Amino acid sequence: MDIDARIKRRQRRTDGPRLVEDYESLSPVAHIDEPSDRGPVLERLLDHLDPVFDGQLPPNAYVSGPFGSGKSAIVTALFRHLDQLSTETRSIIHTSTRAATPTAPGFVYVDMRETTSEFAFYHRVLDELVDEPVPDHGISTDDLRNRLHDLLGQSRTGIVVAVDHVCGPHDTDADELVDMFAGLPSNVSWLAVGRDDPDETPLTEYTATSIRVDRYRRQMLVDVLMTRASVGLTQQALDHELARRIADWADGNAHDALAALFVATDRATRDERTRLTDSDVNAAIEEIPSPSVSLGRVLALPANKQLVLRELVDLDPEERTSVTETTEAISSSPSVDLSTGTVKRFLYEMAEVGVVERVQSETSNDKGRPPSRVELRFPPTAFRRLYDLRQ
DNA sequence: GATCCACGGGAATACACGGATG
DNA sequence: CATCCGTGTATTCCCGTGGATC
């Protein structure tokens, strides 16, 4: 061990030991660059994308798999690498003035959680393709479409667009997506990613290939947890046995497993411990609702809705007995300057998409329609910490 | 002047329940 | 007894407005 490292360790001791080395790599919504143990799926994706390496465009495809199976992790990582690769070999799109011929297609990743309108969709695709920033005001949707046509008209090989989080119960619906692609030139191929089985979605009427991602096997999930812990936590913080417990409970859902690790870590940090204990893990598991909504979806909500949630997670149970009371409590907070009407509407809208759930109260004491209270469909500790880290 | 979108505000509709009505 | 009605809430739906930007 060299001198620097020794000194650093002494320094750290004076700071006091710390559990978390790197929150970013511990976050359940972050995808690491090399997802572990997904080799076979990666191979099938590459098989599908194979024409790309001859400068051709692959047909449309659909990737399906259950919640937490690592679909987004693989596709984001793969597209990031492919885009890097093709940027190196291509010149036209990025310089966009000279009519040189690109030798490889471009790659664009679009997350439909963050893409709530036609405008946002075209905006996102265009923004990925050009260097200069694309204005998000004062420009019409048609303008965006036209610019994309101009741009892609110069490209012989075109682009492949990965469209993540399609066709869930409340995502953009399939027809809308097909329409949006219909607005683009023909040298655009898409790779849609969603939870529905291929035969449950109309998207597969437009695809040549379907690729299935299975849930994680237990041992893989243990590895995923240990990998994250080794990057994000201090040495020996996560016992192998505890990782196995989390994996058993998570039943193949990597999102929930990572959320549990995150919440358990938060608890241990609060107690100023440097190792996770049984009870940390128990408490974490206890806190994660089942079924839960992806924290990624929660953190993709508009800022003011997240603000409302941030207040919501700190309310006392008494303040959550009805939507009306919850609304009062939230909008009376000094950090919220939304009207009560808006707060209430936000709560209903978030219940609609499954971020929270309305539960009708059992006792309909008074007159009128019985109220319902709002319950979280995500682990509050995880959201609180992730939200605060971003502020 | 144009564009998009988030907000605000409120109207319309749904629901529960007790009491009136046929 | 079955159904309707009125009242009080809860929930959904819709549209105009205004900020930010080109």
Residue range(s) of every CATH 1.10.10.10 domain in chain A = 295-390
The CATH number of A295-390 is 1.10.10.10
Nucleotides of C under 7 A from a protein CB: 7-14, 19-22
* Helical packing angle, A218-232 and A240-250, nearest 10°: 130
Nucleotide nearest to A137 (CA to C1'): C21
Separation CA A124–CA A127 (nearest Å) = 5
DSSP string covering A221-279: HHHHHHHHHHHHB-TT-S-HHHHHHHHHHHTT-HHHHHHHHHHHHHHHHHTT-SS--HH
pLDDT in tens for each of the 391 residues of chain A?
456 655 554 555 555 567 766 777 789 998 877 766 788 899 999 999 999 888 889 999 999 999 999 999 999 999 998 988 777 665 444 444 444 445 678 899 999 998 888 999 999 999 999 988 899 899 999 999 999 999 998 887 889 999 999 876 555 678 889 999 999 999 999 999 999 999 988 899 999 999 999 999 999 999 999 989 988 888 788 999 999 999 999 999 999 999 999 999 999 999 988 899 999 999 999 999 988 999 999 999 999 999 999 999 999 988 998 999 999 999 999 999 899 999 999 999 999 999 999 998 776 566 778 889 999 999 999 999 999 988 7
Q: What are the residue ranges of CATH 1.10.8.60 in chain A?
A: 216-287
- Write the CB contacts of A178 (distance below 8 Å, at least 6 apart in sequence): A202, A203, A206
pTM for the whole thing? 0.87
Q: Which residues contact A88 (CB under 8 A, 6 or more apart)?
A: none
What would the two tokens of residue A259 be?
Answer: 């959320």
Do the beta carbons of residue A325 and residue A340 sit within 8 Å?
no
Structure tokens at A232: 């994000």
Spatial distance between the Cα atoms of A239 and A275, rounded to a whole number of angstroms: 8
Please return the burial class of A220, using the count of CB atoms within 10 Å of its CB with bins 0-12, 13-18 and 19+.
middle
Please tell me the distance from the alpha carbon of residue A33 to that of residue A28, in angstroms, as a whole number: 14
Pick out the nucleotide with least CA–C1' distance to A322: C10
∠ CA A84-A87-A91, nearest 5°, is: 175
Question: Is-contact A185 A148, C-beta < 8 A?
Answer: yes
Ranges of CATH 3.40.50.300 domains, chain A? 39-212
Distance CA A244, CA A143 (A): 53
Identify protein residues whose C-beta is within 7 angstroms of any atom in strand B. Answer: A 116-117, 119-120, 137-142, 302-305, 337-339, 341-342, 345, 364, 367-370
Which bases of strand B have any atom within 7 Å of the beta carbon of a protein residue?
1-10, 14-17
Nearest nucleotide to A302, CA against C1' atoms: B6
Residues contacting residue A41 through CB under 8 Å, at least 6 positions apart: A70, A74, A211, A213
- Residue A69 near residue A215 (C-beta atoms within 8 A): yes
Q: Which alpha helices (H) appear in chain A, and where do they start and end? A: 3-15, 23-26, 39-49, 71-89, 92-95, 118-129, 141-153, 174-182, 218-232, 240-250, 254-270, 278-287, 295-298, 303-312, 323-331, 340-352, 380-390
How far is residue A303 from each of residues A30, A91, A346, A379, measured CA to CA in Å?
19, 37, 12, 19
Task: Single out the residue of A153, A113, A70 nearest to residue A305, CA to CA.
Answer: A113
Architecture field, domain A39-212: 3-Layer(aba) Sandwich (3.40)
**What is the C-alpha to C-alpha distance for residues A297 and A111, in angstroms, rounded to an integer?**
10
A216-287: CATH topology:
Helicase, Ruva Protein; domain 3 (1.10.8)
HSE-CB of A38 using CA atoms within 13 angstroms:
29
CA of A112 to C1' of B16 (A): 39
Q: Residue A20 gets which letter from DSSP?
A: B
Q: Which nt sits closest to A323, CA to C1'?
A: C10
Distance A342 CA to B14 C1' (A): 20
Q: Which of residues 313-332 of A touch strand C (CB under 7 A)?
A: 322-324
Is A370 (CB) below 7 Å from strand C?
yes
Give, in order, the Cα–Cα distances in Å from A135 to each of A90, A106, A178, A224, A304: 25, 21, 25, 39, 22
How many alpha carbons lie under 13 Å from residue A332 in its C-beta half-sphere?
Answer: 8
